[in-house]
Amino acid sequence: MRRTSRFWFALWAGKGISSILKLLGKKGTTLPGKIALNLEPRLMGMLSSAYTDGIIMVTGTNGKTTTANLLAQILKADGRTFAFNQAGANLVTGITGALLANTGWGGQAKVKMALLEVDEATVPKFCQQVIPQIAIVTNFFRDQLDRYGELDTTIKLVRDAIPPQTHLILNADDPLVAQFGRDRVHTLYYGVEQTPDSKTYSTETREARFCPHCGEELAYTLYHYGQLGIYACPCGYKRPDPPVLARSVKASEDGIQFKVEPTSYSIALQGYYNLYNALAAMTAAKRIGIKDREIQRGLREFVPQAGRMEQFILPQGPVTLTLVKNPTGFNQVIQTVLSRKERPIRLLIGINDLAADGRDISWLWDVDFECLGQEEERIQRIVCSGLRAEDMAVRLKYAGVPVSKLYLEREMGNALEKVHEGSEGQESIFILPTYTLLFPMREILVNKQIKGSKPSFTQQIQRGEG
């Protein structure tokens, strides 16, 4: 694409704004891209053409940020350098900002590869200008219906937007994702044989009851979570046999161990949804020729990003912070909380309904909070916070959580004090906020964390102590 005077004006304006923001001590992940795109709407595509080793796109409902960061760690372990929107700014402005940051004032790319997390609704705009070499698609679940619309619409937009020459890395266990590989030459699947929590039945809300091709109901022989599992339809559509298949899956408080023949791997992350994130990153790494040894090291050294099962050591004891944003993700977090069978439980749940969270909070009624209602003896208290604290408390009441164990505190700092009130330091304490509460809560935890406290397991691994 020919570089015009508009290109240079946009490039220099974007980089100038970025430099000013850095001098002011601000991150500036989206503003430089926003200003530059106003000057030259085609700038993202113009910048992307300089990445001669290819661009890897990561999209899907859940796990985009963790998958991208896991793959980034593997790429680093292999000695590769790349552009990356690590902060999770996954709209067009943030992506352009990341590319600007890795472009010199003379228009030359500082690196040859880019790894970009892309919001599902942004994929069509992104692929209008950029042809990714590899596209990782993690999963599809209902999320912020007021913004995305119905799930079928989102899936069609993503499927139709990805260029035919792009190599697909697909979750074989999600029938909504696996369908992307039909009639596509360049496709590589990943999946899970079985987890300790896999069942032959499911009571969860599922997004894919019916075959995406003929409309008949899918038959499952095994459910992992949500609609992820081993499925088939009489029309012939079935779960593909994934070349990258996780076997011998084991989980503990220290993380997850698994084998992809013939190699064993471990990640210092909890929740089987994070196993899928690791498999997605691993499959992409294998696709570009990274050896198992570097993949092992990258996964082993990975430290979770902000609010993704992130641990803090406070004077009252350890707490875990993790984002919640839709029914399936919330269900998996609840299962992770309940997996610590020997410990009593305290939760702080923060629900906002601002634009970034999704205005419609009816999705809370699709979360299986009844699992918490069935653990009355272990549940010590649940503090509900945020703008919709009362709605959260009502949902928990109807799920069977005793009202005597429910507390309301709109302000997050006070809610943190409330969840620790009367604690003996032996409880599992999880803080579960939606988007707009995540970083304010994290800032509170960082300020309260014991200075010089013992690092989390993930940090120990990074330092070679684990």
Domains observed in the chain? 5-300 (3.40.1190.10), 310-457 (3.90.190.20)
User: Contact at 8 Å (CB) between 325 and 363?
Assistant: no
Burial of 52 (0-12, 13-18, 19+ CB in 10 A): exposed
User: Contact at 8 Å (CB) between 290 and 74?
Assistant: yes
**Res. 148 pLDDT band, cuts 50 70 90:** low
Instruction: Tell me which of 162-176, 419-433, 442-456 is least confident.
Output: 442-456
Burial 138-160 (b: 16+ CB within 10 A, else e): bbbbbbbbeebeebeebbebbbe
Q: Average pLDDT in the 64-87 region?
A: 94
> Residues with catalytic annotation?
360
Q: Average pLDDT in the 121-146 region?
A: 89
pLDDT tens digit string along 304-362?
777 778 889 898 888 999 999 888 889 989 988 888 777 899 999 999 999 888 888 99
Instruction: Identify the pLDDT of residue 454.
Output: 47
Instruction: Identify the pLDDT of residue 77.
Output: 96
Instruction: Identify the pLDDT of residue 455.
Output: 44
Q: Average pLDDT in the 198-208 region?
A: 78
Chain Cα centroid distance, residue 16: 31
Instruction: Identify the pLDDT of residue 157.
Output: 94
CA distance 371 to 333: 11
Q: HSE (CB half, 13 Å, CA atoms) of 326?
A: 21
Q: What are phi and psi of 347, to 5 degrees?
A: -130, 145
- In 3D space, the residue among 123, 139, 141 whose CA is nearest the CA of residue 131 turns out to be 123
pLDDT tens digit string along 56-70?
999 999 999 999 999
Binding residues for Zn(2+): 211, 214, 233, 235
Summary mean pLDDT of the chain? 90
**Res. 144 pLDDT band, cuts 50 70 90:** low
pLDDT(461) > 50: no
